[in-house]
Amino acid sequence: MNSSLANIRTSRILRSALLVALVALAASADKSIAIELAEGDLIVADFGRDTIFRVDPTSGDRTIVSGSGVGSGTSLRQPRGVAVDGWGQIYVTDADSARLQVVRIDPLTGNRTLVSGGGVGVGDVFAAPFAIAFNSQGELYVSDISSGLNAVFYVDIRTGDRTIVSSASVGSGPVFGNPTVMAFDAADSLLVGDQTLNGMYRVDLSTGDRTLLSGSNMGSGPVIDTPLGMDVAADGSLIVTSLSGGLTSSSSFVIEVDPATGNRMTASSSSVGSGPDFAGIRGITIDSSQNIFAVDLDLDAVFTVNRNNGARTILSDAVTGSGLSFTTPDAIASVGALDLAGDYDGDNLVAAKDYTAWRNNLGSMATLPGDVTPGIVSPDDYQIWRSNFGRFSNGAPVTQAVPEPSSVLLAAIGAMVGLNLRHRYRPVSALRRLHPSNHGGFSSTFRP
């Protein structure tokens, strides 16, 4: 009787483990790939559609990365700033009054994860998060344009913790009035443009001190009025969008700033360069080949801008490029050279060993080299590994078959059955210790 009872209980445990594995497999199968980013791709945040687009830099074709039915997780209500990290993960600020948060988007699935705000992270609280930028070390900074704050935050992307690094009460120098744009230069100095002060500033992140780089009292040339986009060219020049007369003005300019002198020159406008005129210029980005792309909110379009002669060409709008059209495009970012996601052992190859590293750390706060989702090592990291399996750091494939979840599942079941045959009279209390919840697997308290 005792051995029969033990066998019955063992079978129940095996069936339960199988059910857990099948549920995990079903969840894995439901994940659909939205888009795989490549260097040079353009990412556009449209706060009218609450959607993030990928724009092909050659054809202008638009693909929804997240939003409008693509992806799951925390919703977007007013995406205003956008940045792409070294693995191709997209970070967005959401300035909706009920959100006030930073969201990470996995372009492979479109899924959205709350990074900071809304109960995630501790420290100083966002009031109106706006611009967003990474430095070369992968550290994230966010500007806040609330009239009661006007600050620059450092955001720990592992914990969501927020720290004000520059504001009226942190650091010396001119006090921000509306820090609407940010970018890092080649020396990892943070550069900030302020809509109220109509100037460009350098921020010392160790002290919070603010130093004027270009403005009414520094440098000559056209005034930077209402800067809403900025990037840094390879030669160190700042490329800034400006709306003369404020947000209601139709006079849009691209201005180039020499950070050494503060001098400014008009790079493109209705009087400089050929092509369709801007109507309501917003974000701007420079890709690794030094091509310039700008967003026009009023024309619902992405332009290319020739830095040498100011010529403007519409790359993507309702009649140029395919896909869902923009309604209120605002921020734009260019995807740079990407590191090898899913390389969890850091050997520049995504292979079976990386699956082992993922499995051994599942549910922990371990920092894995190719982990694009900092924090808990979760099932999402398996999807990243699977999508990149067989790649070298240079993108070349290797001739290995991807271990499918089903084969992993069968191997696990086989091991469990074999264990049962060898120890069929082991007490049930001992067999319980073999449940995945006791070996780094899915437990009742595990939260990805």
**pLDDT tens-digit profile of 140-172?**
999 999 988 999 999 999 899 999 999 999 999
Phi, psi of 368, deg, nearest 5: -100, 140
Which one has a higher pLDDT value, 2 or 100?
100
Degrees to nearest 5, angle at CA 307 with 302 and 308:
140
For the chain, list the domains and their CATH numbers: 2-33+340-438 (no CATH), 42-334 (2.120.10.30)
**pLDDT tens-digit profile of 1-35?**
455 554 545 445 444 444 444 334 334 433 344 46
Least confident of 146-160, 344-358, 404-418: 404-418
The 3-state DSSP class for residue 83 equals strand
pTM: predicted TM-score of the whole model, two decimal places:
0.78
Kindly state the tokens that stand for 197: 């002060």
Q: What is the layout of strands, in order, in the sheet containing 42-46?
A: 62-66, 51-55, 42-46, 329-334
Percent of the chain with pLDDT over 70: 78
pLDDT of amino acid 439: 25
Least confident of 15-19, 221-225, 425-429: 425-429
Phi, psi of 414, deg, nearest 5: -60, -40
Angstrom distance (rounded) from CA 105 to CA 92: 8
pLDDT of amino acid 3: 52
Q: How many CB atoms lie within 10 A of CB 423?
A: 14
pLDDT bin (cut points 50, 70, 90) of residue 303 is: very high
Closest CA to 33 of 58, 19, 54: 54
Angstrom distance (rounded) from CA 56 to CA 42: 7
pLDDT of amino acid 9: 52
The 3-state DSSP class for residue 165 equals strand
